[in-house]
Homo-oligomer: A and B are copies of this chain.
């Protein structure tokens, strides 16, 4: 059934969350998990869980639920986490440095292979093991290193320009932290992490 019906985007987010729940349950040494258990943990309906998984195959056993090891593997396959992803980060400032120092992504297969900055003071140095290159070298290094994902952590006014550089270099997905909406070609996947937006959301609910 894979790729046949249109899969709601939110289903993908939930798959990631099922994965998290499975990790937590695994430590408690269960072998199987039922849809109602996953659902309870995530405050959703149990048939939602079954529908989400059924988009990709039949992983469960009636009467038994889902075998946890198997389900984790299946979700990993679905999300494309069985391979390594080569990532570049542009903008080694406050936020960029924090991301470079973070070891958590590595464990999930996301490897920051190269960093770029336009500040001569930062170029050539290493940050948490990653070399910081001159932004002018972006295209050649991204191609040479076969990097597919780009992270943008530069000030908003320069974000579009850098996004253009990234897409011209052949990057296929961008995670943008600059608080600005950037345009990318249709074949490039863009995901914005807009923290102000999140705070504004909290503000709205506190205000009512």
Contacts and interface: CB of A to CB of B under 8 A. Distances in A.
Interface of A: 3, 12-13, 15-17, 19-21, 41-42, 78-81, 85, 87, 94-95, 97-99, 101-102, 104-105, 108-110, 148-149, 172-173, 175, 179-181, 189, 191, 193-208
A206 B173 contact: yes
- Copies of this chain assembled into the complex: 2
B203 A175 contact: no
Contacts of A78: 204
Contacts of A204: 12, 15, 78-80
A146 B163 CA distance: 41
Q: What is the predominant secondary structure among interface residues of chain A facing chain B? A: helix
Given A95-B98, A98-B97, A173-B205, A79 B191 contact: no
A203 B94 contact: no
Contact of A181 (B21, B80, B193): B21
B193 A193 contact: yes
What 10 pairs between A and B have smallest CB-CB spacing? A80-B207, A94-B98, A173-B202, A80-B203, A98-B98, A94-B101, A16-B197, A189-B205, A95-B98, A16-B200
Contact of A80 (B3, B85, B108, B206): B206
A106 B205 CA distance: 19
B20 A179 contact: yes
Nearest to A180: B20
A149 B198 CA distance: 12
A81 B205 CA distance: 11
**Interface-centre pick from A41, A189, A195, A199 (highest chain B CB count, 10 A):** A199
A79 B197 CA distance: 10
